[in-house]
Amino acid sequence: MQNNNIMKIDFKQIIKDSGENISQRKLAKEMTEYGLFKTLASAYSMMQYHQTGKAKSCDYQLLKYLMNRFNKKASDILKW
């Protein structure tokens, strides 16, 4: 049975669309310094989890951070 309720955050595409010269690791570091995550490893792991479409939900604070950080709407961040 195929799961059609897959949610993704394509961090690579978000970064690419921003035009910034920033890596996913650097973004993970920014999110850790902002206080969204306790460690760089947990931030990076969460990014990989969302990138692969394994997440079934998204933390509101993370979504809000990404919307503000990249000046995008929620519909531009979350892909269903």
pLDDT in tens, 11-27: 999 999 999 999 999 99
5 part of a folded domain: no
38 part of a folded domain: yes
41 part of a folded domain: yes
Count structural domains, the chain.
1
74 part of a folded domain: yes
> 20 — phi, psi (to 5°)?
-80, 150
Which of the pair, 54 or 72, is modelled with greater confidence?
72
7 part of a folded domain: no
pLDDT in tens, 59-77: 999 999 999 999 999 999 9
9 part of a folded domain: no
pTM: 0.88
Is residue 80 over pLDDT 90? no
- 47, burial (CB in 10 Å: exposed 0-12, middle 13-18, buried 19+): buried
Residue 22's domain comprises: 16-79
68 part of a folded domain: yes
11 part of a folded domain: no
